[in-house]
């Protein structure tokens, strides 16, 4: 039996940009950039379109043949007027010359006579006759017609040169010629622009406008991309920081390079991270203390119970001996003393354990820290008269909510540790009360040998002590109790120790 298999449908592969969803900030940046680019491009196209429309409008003016026709007519009319005037002057001159050239042969004609004729023919209307230049006429062999001076005593050689007999009279440039020059210059300008409009001027205008608009567009888009890039980088950096903190490094903090709203975000994040860290450590410590307390309670209970029967049996044993051996009797007595001594020692240990296991809950009430500190200092001064214990108060008012009994216990314990660390030689122990923005700080400073650096992190652990020998060897519970009490107040107990300078700081929040 053959199995029927249905052909599998081809799975369509979506394009990547659809399959992968962009992060929110990237999609918004993309939208903003696309919208701005669209606006700029539309503006660009509109500018080019308007430029072309403007050029097309000007083209109709440039290509107007009537303007050139009018200019040509104007120039022709100027020449016509000038020609008419010339004819009038020449007719007058001929009338003046006629009675003279018959009488005098041409060789006697000289510039002086010619100037007189010109004056009489009113050539002064167009020029100063005395300043008119004259020169002898020397025609080329081809210019035969002009040699006949009798038939043609006066001929216009050019528009401004007149031959009178054998002299060339150069008439200066008059107003007519000047106005012709001006009109001609205008016509030349119009003609040149018209001739080169399509080939050179119009394309140049379009090219230049398009070039400027294009470069402006490029510049705007470049700036837009730079701004978007900068914005995205900052957002990504921010998100990366959040990710690092949440996933594997709770000590990560943002540095202080941020500006604007992002600076506010990073500062608040740093503050939140600090608070989370503090709360985490407090929680861990309280959990530790809680487990220590459980152990202490059990130990106390287990050790305490057999102590009494042991003591009773030893006493009974000694009492019941009725022998006469003095050595054995002495041995019994010595043993009883030793055993009782150790039992007392164990009872003390059990009491310490019981105290640690049954630390009371804090009971907050309003007290003055200055009063509490002064009370503690007075007590310890009496206990350690060899040391100089003094108080420095930098606050005007140190009233806050505390459990005064437990706080006194902490301060007394710390002063006692400082005094014991300083030894029997006189030493200074300073207790300083100060205030910060959020906390009251009580610093106990001594100049003892200090705490080794490798031990500073462990001194607040239960059952850890540096006082193994001496008059009062410790159980290692004092600082643990102090730490718990201060944590219960919402504050913190820290140590900073170097040889010759050890400072315990109690921070209690202002309430």
Partner 1 sequence: MMRKLNNFAIIITCILFSISSAFAQNKTTLMTAASWHNKMKKLTLLIPLIEKLSDKQKDLITSGFSTFSALSVYRKANGKKELLFRNRCTVRFDTWEEIFETSLLDMNFKTVTVKKLNTLAELCLTARIPATEKISYLINNGGIVHAELQVKQIPTEESDRIRDWVIQQQSRVMQGLFSHMMGDLKYSEAINIAVQVPSAKKKNRQKKRNINIYPDYQENKSP
Give the footprint of partner 1 on this chain (CB under 8 A). 22, 26, 29-30, 33, 37, 41, 44, 75, 79, 140, 142-143, 158-160, 177, 180-181, 184-185, 188-189, 191-193, 195-196, 199-212, 214, 217-218, 221-222, 225, 228-229, 232
Q: How far is the CB of 149 from partner 1 (least distance, A)?
A: 18
Chain centre to alpha carbon of residue 217:
25
Comparison of 189 and 511: residue with beta carbon closer to partner 1? 189
Q: Which is nearer to partner 1, 223 or 276 (CB)?
A: 223
C-beta of 196: minimal distance to partner 1 in Å? 5
What radius of gyration do the chain's Cα atoms show?
60
Listed in sequence order, the residues at least 6 apart from 491 whose beta carbon sits closer than 8 Å to its beta carbon are 439, 506, 507, 508, 509
> How far apart are alpha carbons 455 and 217 in whole angstroms?
67
Residue 181 or 298: which CB sits closer to partner 1? 181
Bridge partners, residue 432, by sequence: 392, 443
- Please give the angle made by the CA atoms of 171, 177 and 181, to the nearest 5 degrees: 140
CA 183/CA 426 separation, integer angstroms: 118
The minimum distance between CB 91 and partner 1, in angstroms, equals 22
State which residue, 191 or 319, has the beta carbon closest to partner 1: 191
Give the residue with the Cβ less far from partner 1, 36 or 456.
36
Instruction: Give the span between the Cα atoms of 306 and 311, in whole angstroms.
Output: 9
Q: Which is nearer to partner 1, 184 or 374 (CB)?
A: 184
Measured CA to CA, the distance from residue 301 to residue 232 in angstroms comes to: 64
Cα angle: 506, vertex 509, 511; to 5 degrees:
140
Reduce the DSSP state of residue 156 to 3 states and report it.
strand
Nearer to partner 1, 50 or 312 (CB): 50
Is the CB of 224 or the CB of 318 nearer to partner 1? Answer: 224
> Taking the complex as a whole, how short is the minimal distance between the CB of residue 484 and partner 1, in angstroms?
53
Backbone angles phi, psi at 389, to 5 degrees: -110, 120
Nearer to partner 1, 174 or 490 (CB): 174
User: How far apart (Å, rounded) are the C-alpha atoms in residues 157 and 22?
Assistant: 91
Beta bridge partners of 154: 164
Q: Which is nearer to partner 1, 177 or 489 (CB)?
A: 177
**Closest distance to partner 1 from the beta carbon of 215 (Å):** 9
Element (H, E) at 497: strand 492-498
CB of 29 to partner 1, least distance (A): 8
Q: What angle do CA 112, 117, 122 make, to 5 degrees?
A: 125
Cα distances (angstroms) measured from residue 218 to each of 51, 397, 476:
19, 66, 74
Compare residues 60 and 140 and give the one whose CB is closer to partner 1: 140
What is the smallest separation between the CB atom of 209 and partner 1, expressed in angstroms? 7
Q: In the complex, what is the shortest distance from the CB of residue 184 to partner 1, in angstroms, rounded to a whole number?
A: 5
Classify each residue of 387-421 as buried b or exposed e, where b means 16 or more C-beta atoms within 10 Å of its C-beta. Answer: bebeeeeeeeebebebbbebbbbbbbbbbbbbbbb
**Quick one: angle between helices 175-196 and 65-101, nearest 10?**
150
Q: How far is the CB of 122 from partner 1 (least distance, A)?
A: 23
Question: Min. distance of Cβ 104 from partner 1 in angstroms?
Answer: 30
Nearest distance from C-beta of residue 118 to partner 1, angstroms: 21
- Distance in angstroms (rounded) separating the CA atoms of residues 83 and 89: 10
**Which residues, other chains included, contact 270 with Cβ-Cβ below 8 Å and sequence gap of 6+?**
253, 254
CB of 206 or CB of 286, closer to partner 1: 206
CB of 160 to partner 1, least distance (A): 7
Q: How far is the CB of 399 from partner 1 (least distance, A)?
A: 59
CA 117 to CA 496: how far, in whole Å?
Answer: 128
Tokens of 419: 């005094």
Closer CB to partner 1, 17 or 453, in the complex: 17
3 state SS of 505: strand
């Amino acid at each position: 039996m053959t199995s029927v298999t249905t052909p599998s449908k081809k799975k369509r592969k979506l394009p990547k940009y659809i399959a992968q969803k962009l992060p929110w900030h990237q999609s918004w940046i993309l939208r903003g950039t696309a919208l701005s680019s669209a606006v700029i491009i539309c503006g660009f196209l509109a500018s080019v379109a308007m430029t072309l429309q403007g050029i097309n409008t000007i083209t109709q003016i440039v290509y107007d043949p009537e303007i050139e026709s009018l200019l040509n007519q104007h120039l022709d009319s100027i020449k016509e007027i000038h020609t008419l005037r010339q004819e009038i002057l020449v007719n007058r001159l001929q009338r003046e010359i006629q009675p003279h050239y018959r009488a005098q042969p041409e060789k006697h004609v000289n510039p002086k006579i010619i100037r007189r004729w010109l004056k009489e023919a009113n050539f002064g209307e167009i020029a100063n006759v005395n300043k008119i230049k004259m020169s002898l006429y020397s025609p080329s062999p081809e210019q035969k017609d002009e040699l006949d001076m009798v038939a043609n005593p006066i001929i216009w050689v050019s528009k401004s040169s007149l031959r009178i007999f054998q002299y060339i009279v150069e008439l200066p440039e008059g107003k007519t010629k000047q106005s012709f020059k001006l009109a001609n210059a205008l016509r030349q300008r119009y003609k040149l622009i018209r001739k080169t409009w399509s080939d050179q001027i119009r394309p140049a205008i379009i090219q230049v406008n398009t070039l400027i608009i294009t470069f402006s567009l490029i510049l705007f888009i470049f700036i837009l991309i730079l701004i978007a890039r900068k914005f995205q980088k900052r957002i990504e950096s921010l998100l990366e920081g959040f990710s690092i903190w949440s996933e594997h490094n709770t000590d990560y903090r943002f540095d202080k390079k941020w500006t604007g709203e992002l600076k506010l975000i990073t500062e608040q994040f740093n503050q939140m991270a600090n608070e989370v860290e503090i709360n985490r450590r407090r929680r861990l410590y309280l959990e530790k203390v809680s487990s220590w307390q459980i152990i202490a309670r059990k130990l106390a209970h287990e050790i305490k119970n057999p102590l009494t029967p042991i003591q009773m049996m030893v006493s009974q044993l000694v009492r019941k001996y009725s022998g006469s051996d003095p050595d054995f009797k002495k041995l019994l007595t010595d043993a009883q003393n030793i055993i009782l001594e150790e039992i007392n020692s164990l009872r003390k240990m059990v009491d310490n354990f019981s105290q640690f296991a049954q630390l009371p809950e804090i009971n907050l009430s309003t007290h003055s820290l200055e009063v509490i500190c002064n009370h503690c200092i007075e007590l310890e001064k009496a206990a350690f008269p060899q040391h100089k214990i003094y108080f420095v108060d930098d606050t005007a008012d140190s009233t806050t909510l505390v459990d005064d009994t437990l706080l006194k216990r902490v301060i007394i314990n710390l002063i006692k540790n400082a005094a014991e660390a300083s030894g029997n030689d006189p030493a200074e122990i300073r207790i300083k009360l100060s205030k910060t923005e959020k906390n009251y700080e009580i610093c106990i400073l001594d100049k003892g040998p200090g705490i080794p650096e490798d031990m500073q992190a462990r001194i607040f652990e239960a059952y850890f002590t540096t006082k193994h020998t001496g008059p009062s060897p410790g159980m290692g519970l004092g600082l643990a109790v102090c730490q718990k009490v201060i944590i219960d107040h919402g504050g913190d107990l820290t140590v900073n120790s170097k040889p010759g300078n050890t400072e315990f700081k109690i921070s209690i929040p202002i309430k």
